[in-house]
């Protein structure tokens, strides 16, 4: 496996019977959860496959990556209004009015609500789901795989930014690939004149400092 095409066309790993069963159950449940959002459903399954392939390429657990992809947009079934009210019920504190950050909440809410329904899903998967919209100053390889797969899965349009990230797959490190995706996401927010959550600026500064410290720049 050397690049994006291989990641997209990879063969499924040799999972155990239990692993296959959980994947099938989560996919079935997701189809019910997102029955009214077919585009989102197709995106989620595409992210799951892309994350599995990226995990295989970069030496990350493909099973956890697949589960994270299936689950990451689960709460997108809710309207913006409902996700904000659920986040308020859970006491989620983003330091700003939650209505300003409604598009960021679905991963955080899913990571709080879904472990009760699926206790057999490993905790690292929930963390990847939690940080897939915001990123975080400390990103595990699994967190990075989900974040990148969400941005470059094959159903996403061929914009110059996405194509540039796809071209980097296999020719750069996972950390650099994540950085491209993360910075590209911030640029997208800025160019669209959208609200930029202050926590993202803080994460950017902390990740940039860590990269500088590691000699990446």
Task: Calculate the alpha carbon distances from 32 to 26, 35, 36, 79 in Å.
Answer: 10, 5, 8, 16
Nearer to Fe ion, 41 or 56 (CB): 41
How far is it, in rounded angstroms, from Cα 34 to Cα 104? Answer: 18
Nearer to Fe ion, 129 or 168 (CB): 129
| Cβ 167 to Fe ion shortest distance, Å | 21
| Cβ 106 to Fe ion shortest distance, Å | 6
- Please say whether the beta carbons of 42 and 155 come within 8 A: yes
How does 111-145 read in b/e, with b if 16+ C-beta sit within 10 Å? bbebeeebeebeebbbbbbbbbbbbbeebebbbbb
| Cβ 14 to Fe ion shortest distance, Å | 27
Nearer to Fe ion, 107 or 141 (CB): 107
How far is it, in rounded angstroms, from Cα 13 to Cα 15? Answer: 6
141: tokens are 């390889």
Residues near Fe ion, by CB under 5 A? 73, 150
Nearer to Fe ion, 187 or 216 (CB): 187
- Please say whether the beta carbons of 94 and 101 come within 8 A: yes
Nearer to Fe ion, 143 or 150 (CB): 150
| Cβ 116 to Fe ion shortest distance, Å | 20
């Amino acid at each position: 496996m050397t690049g994006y095409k291989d990641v997209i066309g990879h063969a499924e790993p040799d999972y155990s019977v239990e692993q296959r069963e959980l994947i099938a159950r989560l996919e079935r449940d997701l189809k019910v959860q997102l029955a009214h959002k077919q585009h989102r459903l197709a995106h989620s399954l595409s992210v799951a496959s892309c994350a599995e392939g990226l995990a295989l390429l970069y030496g990350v657990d493909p099973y956890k990556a697949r589960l994270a992809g299936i689950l990451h947009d689960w709460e997108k079934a809710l309207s913006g209004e409902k996700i904000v009210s659920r986040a308020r019920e859970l006491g989620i504190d983003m330091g700003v009015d939650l209505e300003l950050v409604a598009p960021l909440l679905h991963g955080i809410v899913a990571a709080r609500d879904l472990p009760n329904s699926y206790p057999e899903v490993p905790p690292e998967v929930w963390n990847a789901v939690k940080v897939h919209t915001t990123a975080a100053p400390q990103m595990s390889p699994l967190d990075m795989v989900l974040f990148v797969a969400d941005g470059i899965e094959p159903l996403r349009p061929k914009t110059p930014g996405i194509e540039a990230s796809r071209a980097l797959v296999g020719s750069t490190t996972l950390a650099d690939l994540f950085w491209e995706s993360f910075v590209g996401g911030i640029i997208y927010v800025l160019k669209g004149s959208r609200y930029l959550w202050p926590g993202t600026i803080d994460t950017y500064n902390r990740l940039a400092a860590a990269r500088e410290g590691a000699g990446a720049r």
